[in-house]
Structure 1
């Protein structure tokens, strides 16, 4: 039987086409993929250029991509590259493993900013991701501020973690939480963010939950809570360049015979004092390439996040859950000199130490026992006044908390110097979606109060929480009473966020949805509770 060259070529082409679905890329690790493909965009990086994984980042990234590890927690300081590590691993899951991913930010606005500033720039600058994005740079149903659907069929969602609805109806393989400690601990009264979010990966063959955050207050910090659920707390041990003994870097203090030390008033003289033999280590001498991640409690250790060993050196299976801790002293993005300057600046600010401990050391802040407020201390500060509205009050505001079976409204009178008086507390029982309940709320909003001088006062402005109920209920009442008089609000637990952020324009529902910086508000309230009441 004679076969022409054309027939032979056609047969080869047909066989090649038939086998195409079976072709798979050679397996690579997240670190290998990132070093080969990831690129740092100029608009969201310290410096534009090709990515190179740092020694302390290797085990973290590989653990994030290790199919045998279900949960990875990272307690971190600032300036250790967590966001970039996360983006590199997400790119790895999208392009190499073809897995659906969901990333949560603390708020919707933070999620949109992250998608615009980080995700879209990454897709544009990473060729293998760009090839999967035929919609890049134009409007398309697969290219939104909440979803990127790639030509491979893989989806990547980026959503705010403040709304319970964002935790529903998504089935993914990977769920990530960026700045977990800034999430509300109870999302619209339906549960913790990790409990709700991890439900989205329960049907996956290889479920993965990645949580990372700068910590906050000890005992209430969510990344601390997540870390405590893992049996393995890993710190990065590096050998002393002089004696060779391993140790993880500690900040230390005046009394400790180890840690960062410097001459008085000379931050530039800083060095690290080895805790084993008192060796003087300068930052330029420290070689992290030979470091190991070690758990003090279990003795488990790893260098690369792929192979794990017992304290005796026997290879063991990777853990189901693992926690890493890393802080600024390891980072090449800053210097030990700058850490000392940051410390000295922190000593000048009442809240500076807390910020330093959280963002530089990457540790939780523990309030001094003597500073904690108990109920009796607060009761001693109670001031009783005869009139419904005290004489000094010139303005009334109200806040409405939304619950599933009631509304709670607090009316406050304001005097010069932000002196505040609780004028009224009203509890309105009933379903929040029933008109009869809402009519009673209307009556409370329009209630008049008698001032000490005999005049009547009305509530000038109301903030109404949309958490826990259908936000449309509050939106409609805002329009009814006036969009500037009744403002829908939602909490945003983001460090440093103003107490209230008033948008410049109305949202799609025609109202001004404001964000409340809950962390900042709590700090102010706590500080004022410790102050003496105005006589």
Structure 2
């Protein structure tokens, strides 16, 4: 672009011309070039992502829709479609456009990696946007001035920009990542939409996001207000139109990379090699009425030409036993919200799973850990055995009556932690490899002293801390004062996420939770006492585990602490799967082989839970 404000003024006025009735997809096919750093550099082709054509064209100035909602999975080309719209605005329908992203940091990164390459790689855009200069405010990380308009980019956490920029075009990207309240001025989406009010009838609002949690997802709420379009594709065998659903993705046992789609009508398998032709022949079908002004689109990654069904199946298998990973997979692969109610388990449904493994230690246990909860008048202890894939067995649950201020109470615990267990295979006896003891109550100095004296046996004092993102086990312990006893702060919410997802597994194997008969009733009620709740705090969604005031949860706490002990061992180099494999390679113990420890049956008989705390009296 030539220098000088006079020249720019002439160019600006030349942009104030009647809008051409060109669609966004047609513009992209004619003028968009993907930069060399892209996965597929060169001229843009909507035929590569045919499902994006209707979405983009609803953003064209000739479309009757004011709002376009796209609830999407990953690897679909959605971001590139939004960039095509921005290019279309600059070249074909100039005006003020506002791009809102979750934070200003994301905006700056997006400008560097996407907006600038968009402009530089497409000549019709480069000649219309103010050239970047150190002293010219028309081309910065947050603003791009072009002939007839301007692109303003801001974070959803910046109230001033949201309330001060009237705009005809509004691009709300990843709306589920926005805070609920921005600087005390309210919902950032509402603030941004108000900036378009003066352009009612001519405005365009594009909402795009991967969904998050049900009842908290902005994109899902907006989609439900729309005409709720789904993309239907034909079966290559019978021709019947249908959506691609995860429930009909199948694969041969043990071979997820060979995943295929089962036709909803004829039942024939549809291979991945048919996907491209199916997408080209697909069409969007509205399933709702909507308000007449909002076009809504929902598309999962199962439609992606950039990711195979087999790859998505592999991702599912890798995440299905870890609730946090499964949640992410559900959001990003299926484009579905996560229902936290999915993790709710009732004690009655679990009771039928109780097992009677008799006198012997269950086969497969390679490591034993313990978790201890400290109450004012008792200690409660769970001993947990661990096998390959962190399959677990609750070996014992003991209530030790007595004040933690009494030495006898701790002597009893010490004896329990010193037990030795004979495996059913010809291998060395097992002992408690590590133990975590809660220090957060009224007896912190006593707990610290007990643990410090047994640090060589990996008896650790811990304190639970809530909050998303806290590691299950810290890199190093904290100390109350220099030279003081070590205290390990553990992330209890993440551990509970993992535990409850594992408790929902209903087939023995990796992650499965075994427990013996005799634990039904109060123990299971305590184990399942907490529910996941969501609340908003300072504009951010907080998810936390809570119990009702009248419920007890000591059994859950003990399991969390035993799991933390395993995490502590892993931080020290434990390779559980290797140890479990070595154990299972050993022959079963013969009747003449010596028994080097007391029978687990005797131990369990002495520790049957009969106290008033576990019987509900």
TM-score normalised by the shorter chain: which range applies? Answer: 0.5 to 0.7
3-state SS of the aligned residue for 1:79? coil
Q: Which residue of 1 aligns with 2:334?
A: 361
Mapped partners of 1:76, 1:392: distance in 2:
54
> For the Cα contact (< 8 Å) 1:109–1:160, is it kept in 2?
yes
Task: State the Cα deviation string for residues 400-432 of structure 1 (Å, max 9, x = none).
Answer: xxxxxxxxxxxxxxx96453599xxxxxxxxxx
Mapped partners of 1:22, 1:159: distance in 2:
25
**TM-aligned CA deviation for residue 293 of structure 1:** 0.6
Match 2:88 to one of 83, 86, 92: 92
> For the Cα contact (< 8 Å) 1:130–1:136, is it kept in 2?
no
Q: Which residue of 1 aligns with 2:28?
A: 34
1:144 paired with 2:137, answer no
**TM-aligned CA deviation for residue 241 of structure 1:** 1.1
**TM-aligned CA deviation for residue 20 of structure 1:** 7.5
Q: TM-score, normalised by structure 2?
A: 0.55
- Cα distance change on mapping 1:31 and 1:416 into 2, 3 Å: farther
Q: Which residue of 2 aligns with 1:495?
A: none
Q: Which residue of 1 aligns with 2:274?
A: 285
Task: State the Cα deviation string for residues 215-269 of structure 1 (Å, max 9, x = none).
Answer: 0111111111222222x100000111111110010000xxxxxx11110111232
1:155 paired with 2:150, answer yes
Mapped partners of 2:56, 2:19: distance in 1:
20
> For the Cα contact (< 8 Å) 1:217–1:364, is it kept in 2?
yes
Match 2:99 to one of 83, 100, 103: 103
**TM-aligned CA deviation for residue 187 of structure 1:** 2.3
3-state SS of the aligned residue for 1:215? coil
Q: Which residue of 2 aligns with 1:469?
A: none
> For the Cα contact (< 8 Å) 2:246–2:334, is it kept in 1?
yes
Q: Which residue of 1 aligns with 2:287?
A: 296
Mapped partners of 2:114, 2:18: distance in 1:
28
3-state SS of the aligned residue for 2:199? coil
**TM-aligned CA deviation for residue 133 of structure 1:** 2.4
- Cα distance change on mapping 1:154 and 1:297 into 2, 3 Å: closer
Mapped partners of 2:466, 2:175: distance in 1:
35
1:237 paired with 2:226, answer no
Task: State the Cα deviation string for residues 320-354 of structure 1 (Å, max 9, x = none).
Answer: 11210011111111111111111111124332211
Unaligned runs of 5+ in 1: 1-16, 253-258, 301-317, 374-380, 395-414, 423-450, 456-515
Mapped partners of 1:297, 1:129: distance in 2:
38
- Cα distance change on mapping 1:65 and 1:27 into 2, 3 Å: closer
> For the Cα contact (< 8 Å) 1:72–1:209, is it kept in 2?
yes
3-state SS of the aligned residue for 1:98? coil
Unaligned runs of 5+ in 2: 1-10, 347-372, 377-438, 449-459, 468-479, 485-537, 563-617
**TM-aligned CA deviation for residue 143 of structure 1:** 1.2
Q: Which residue of 1 aligns with 2:164?
A: 169
> For the Cα contact (< 8 Å) 2:179–2:539, is it kept in 1?
no
- Cα distance change on mapping 1:71 and 1:185 into 2, 3 Å: same
The worse-fitting range, judged by mean Cα deviation, of 68-77 and 204-213 is 204-213
3-state SS of the aligned residue for 1:278? coil
Match 1:247 to one of 229, 242, 265: 242
Matches within 5 A, 1:255-404: 259-286=248-275, 287=277, 288-298=279-289, 319-368=292-341, 371=344, 391=445
> For the Cα contact (< 8 Å) 2:180–2:539, is it kept in 1?
no
RMSD: 3.6
Mapped partners of 2:446, 2:36: distance in 1:
54
**TM-aligned CA deviation for residue 29 of structure 1:** 0.5
- Cα distance change on mapping 1:387 and 1:337 into 2, 3 Å: closer
> For the Cα contact (< 8 Å) 1:102–1:175, is it kept in 2?
yes
**TM-aligned CA deviation for residue 73 of structure 1:** 0.8
Rg (Cα) greater in structure: 2
3-state SS of the aligned residue for 2:221? helix
Q: Which residue of 2 aligns with 1:70?
A: 66
- Cα distance change on mapping 1:526 and 1:321 into 2, 3 Å: same
Mapped partners of 1:59, 1:162: distance in 2:
31
> For the Cα contact (< 8 Å) 2:207–2:219, is it kept in 1?
yes
> For the Cα contact (< 8 Å) 1:40–1:48, is it kept in 2?
yes
Mapped partners of 1:138, 1:372: distance in 2:
60
Match 2:128 to one of 128, 132, 143: 132
Mapped partners of 1:386, 1:526: distance in 2:
18
Mapped partners of 1:181, 1:289: distance in 2:
30
Task: State the Cα deviation string for residues 364-395 of structure 1 (Å, max 9, x = none).
Answer: 0111366399xxxxxxx99889999954899x
Mapped partners of 1:339, 1:82: distance in 2:
18
3-state SS of the aligned residue for 1:101? strand
Q: Which residue of 2 aligns with 1:419?
A: 464
Q: TM-score, normalised by structure 1?
A: 0.63
**TM-aligned CA deviation for residue 41 of structure 1:** 1.9
- Cα distance change on mapping 1:393 and 1:215 into 2, 3 Å: farther
> For the Cα contact (< 8 Å) 1:185–1:222, is it kept in 2?
no
Mapped partners of 1:129, 1:122: distance in 2:
8
The worse-fitting range, judged by mean Cα deviation, of 339-348 and 215-224 is 339-348
Mapped partners of 2:440, 2:304: distance in 1:
60
